[in-house]
A and B are shown apart, each in its own frame.
Chain A
Amino acid sequence: MWELFKTFFHIGLFTFGGGYAMIPLIESKVVDEKRWIDREMLLDLIAIAQSCPGIFAVNIGIFIGYKLRRTPGALVCALGTSLPSFIIILVIALFFRHFRENEFVDRFFRGLRPAVVALIAAPVFKMGKRANITFQSVWIPVVAALLIWQFGVSPVYVILIAGLSGYAYGQYIKN
């Protein structure tokens, strides 16, 4: 149990840049080093964690924890993955406000902001490729983006409507 916690704490601590960056680390730790699951199982896990809501890395942790030690294992892995970020960000949040007003910090962050927007814009195209968007389906992301951007519709509704329409399309129109 302690091993599980330690392993996922380590994974949470050393991944930069979000979920997908975590895969190689999980692979080397969980598959090669600890031999808790095999590579094929990991691939299935990735597919499941990707198609479930929530945080990718936490989802994978929960799944592996559950497989090894049932519910307590899942809890320990979820905690282990989240704890490093939580501690680090909390410490930053506690102090950041005090020096955000500093002139140099302000200039640094004014340079950062456009880069942040670019880093969010870039994966749009990568994700588009992975979602197999074609000429027939390109209107879906465009309409979704417009609804949220121009009409202030909550992304929650967009997700709900998209899932339900996909389901309805498959059940009633395609067949």
Chain B
Amino acid sequence: MILLYLKIFWTFFKIGLFGFGGGYAMISMIQAEVVSNHGWMTNGEFTDIVAISQSTPGPIGINSATYVGYTSVVNAGYSSLWGTLGSLIATFAVVLPSLILMLAISRFFMKYKNHPAVEHTFMGLRPAVVGLLAAAALLLMNAENFSAPGENPWQFFISVGLFLFAFIGQMVYKMNPVLLLVLCGISGLLLF
């Protein structure tokens, strides 16, 4: 029990510490740690969490830390009270590195942000963050989220259609993400 809390704390501390590139890049880290590494929840549950984080206000990093902290404790068989403590620990842990770093950086970064060593480090970081995002999307393109042609062809093809609709809606027409989610949810309700 305490071990689980320690693991949650350490996991989210790491995510907060290495989470460069904003919420979506952080999602790929949370997924790698929580689903692939620790097996605290399934890929499908994780996708649900991302959906909920996207359709509620607030930073996605905080939203998903809160939700994952709760769910992983409850999935391990403990009551919702312990789950609440888990979400508190995860949220605190994900903010803590920022707090420490930003306080230090508030003093020093202004002075050194144009220093070549800092610039070069970021030159390597920025393209890698893009790869991180791509990996998150690729990892979620699985049978749990889309079904499969051999398993449930109807759901599979509708899912691919919904994916394309949401992708184009977001990329080309810059539609509101919450609206896209609601539209796809309603389609699911009607078609599945």
Tell me the A residues contacting B by CB distance below 8 Å. 12-20, 22, 44, 47-59, 62-63, 66-67, 71, 74-75, 78, 81-82, 84-86, 88-90, 92-94, 96-97, 100, 104, 107-125, 127-128, 130-133, 137-138, 140-149, 152, 154-156, 158-167, 169-171, 174
Q: Which residues of B contact A19 (CB under 8 A)?
A: 22-23, 59-60
Number of B residues contacting the other chain (C-beta, 8 Å)?
Answer: 113
B4 within 8 A of A: no
Chain B: interface secondary structure? helix
**Residues of B that sit less than 8 Å from A by CB:** 14, 16-29, 32-33, 36-37, 44, 47-48, 50-63, 66-67, 70-71, 74, 80, 83-84, 87-88, 91, 94-95, 97-99, 101-103, 105-106, 109-110, 113, 116-117, 119-141, 145-146, 155, 158-160, 162-167, 170-171, 176-178, 180-181, 183-189, 191-192
Count A-B pairs with CB separation below 8 Å: 384
Instruction: Tell whether, in the assembled complex, residue B159 and residue A92 are in contact, meaning their CB atoms are under 8 Å apart.
Output: no
A66, A124, A125, A165: most-surrounded residue (chain B CB, <10 A): A124
Contacts of B185 in A (CB 8 A): 108-109, 111-112, 115
A152 to B130, CA, bound (A): 17
B102–A167 touching, CB < 8 Å: no
Kindly state the separation between the CA atoms of A13 and B102 in the bound complex, as whole angstroms.
22
Contact in complex: B124, A97 (CB < 8 Å) = no
Which B residue sits closest to A131, measured CB to CB? B126
